[in-house]
Amino acid sequence: MSTHLAIGAVAALAGLAAASSRGARNYRWAGPPRPEVFRVWHQTTPEAEAAIRVQGFRIDLPLARRSDHEMPDGVFLKFHDRPIGVVRGVVMAPSQMLVEVRVSGVLRVADRAHLSGLLRRDDAYQALLYDREQLDRDYTRTVDDLEAKTDEIYRRVWERAQAARQDSRRVRVMYQDDPELHAADQQAKAAIEEWGRLSHEKSTLVRERGTDLLRELGYDSVLMERDEGSGGRTVRTLVVLDPENVTPLDRP
Q: How far apart are CA 240 and CA 100, in angstroms?
A: 11
Q: Are 200 and 177 members of one domain? A: yes
For the stretch 179-190, pLDDT in tens is 999 999 999 999
> Is 21 inside a domain boundary?
no
Per-residue confidence (pLDDT) for residue 17, from 0 to 100: 31
Band (pLDDT 50/70/90 cuts) for residue 32 is low
> Is 166 inside a domain boundary?
yes
- Full domain range(s) for residue 192: 126-205
For the stretch 55-81, pLDDT in tens is 999 888 766 565 578 999 999 999 999
Q: Is the pLDDT of residue 137 over 90?
A: yes
Per-residue confidence (pLDDT) for residue 135, from 0 to 100: 97
Domain count, the chain: 2
Q: Which residue has the higher pLDDT, 251 or 145?
A: 145
For the stretch 217-250, pLDDT in tens is 999 999 999 998 766 679 999 999 999 999 999 8
Average pLDDT, the chain: 83
> Is 18 inside a domain boundary?
no
> Is 101 inside a domain boundary?
yes
> Is 59 inside a domain boundary?
yes
Q: Which pTM does this prediction carry? A: 0.77
